[in-house]
């Protein structure tokens, strides 16, 4: 059981380039999340999804876009990379029914914008 899989693990981008961070989960979880973590800080929520076709903004959505066409996948898109987006990005998922279940996290994507 792979859990939450994020690709790539590392990436260096030039300012103005675009890329998509991939996230896939095989636990049939309804809820999925994207966070960013800057050095020495906690995680900040970028976007979340409560099911296929439904997404919503978190605390820091500017500069990012998401889509959720399937239950399994929740890609995060950076359209015009900026140095301020240098960070570690974590994807998470959790089951949505019943009592609020804890989140399961991927291993992260380390992104540098130069």
In the complex, the residues that contact other proteins under the rule CB under 8 A are: 4, 33, 35, 40-45, 48, 50, 56-59, 88, 90, 92, 99-100, 102-108, 110
Taking the complex as a whole, the smallest distance from the CB of residue 16 to other proteins amounts, in Å, to 26
Instruction: Please report how many Cα atoms fall inside a 13 Å half-sphere around the Cα of residue 29, on the Cβ side.
Output: 25
Nearest to other proteins of 19, 45 (CB atom): 45
Nearest to other proteins of 14, 62 (CB atom): 62
User: Could you give the 3-state DSSP secondary structure of residue 17?
Assistant: coil
Rounded to 5 degrees, what are φ and ψ at 89? Answer: -110, 130
Taking the complex as a whole, the smallest distance from the CB of residue 13 to other proteins amounts, in Å, to 19
Taking the complex as a whole, the smallest distance from the CB of residue 9 to other proteins amounts, in Å, to 11
Burial 76-95 (b: 16+ CB within 10 A, else e): bebeebeeebbbbbbbbbbb
Nearest to other proteins of 13, 91 (CB atom): 91
Taking the complex as a whole, the smallest distance from the CB of residue 102 to other proteins amounts, in Å, to 4
Nearest to other proteins of 12, 80 (CB atom): 12
Contact at 8 Å (CB) between 79 and 65?
Answer: yes
Contact at 8 Å (CB) between 43 and 102?
Answer: no
């Amino acid at each position: 059981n792979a859990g939450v899989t994020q690709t790539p693990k590392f990436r260096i981008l030039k300012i103005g380039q675009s890329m998509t961070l991939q996230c896939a989960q095989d636990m049939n979880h309804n809820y999925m999340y994207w966070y960013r973590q800057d050095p020495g800080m906690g995680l900040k929520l970028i976007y979340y999804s409560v099911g296929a076709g439904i997404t919503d903004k978190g605390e820091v959505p500017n500069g990012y876009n998401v889509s959720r066409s399937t239950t399994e996948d929740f890609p995060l898109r950076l359209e015009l990379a900026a140095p301020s987006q240098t960070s570690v990005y974590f994807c998470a998922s959790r089951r949505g029914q019943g009592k609020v279940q804890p989140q399961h996290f991927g291993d992260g994507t380390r992104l540098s914008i130069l």
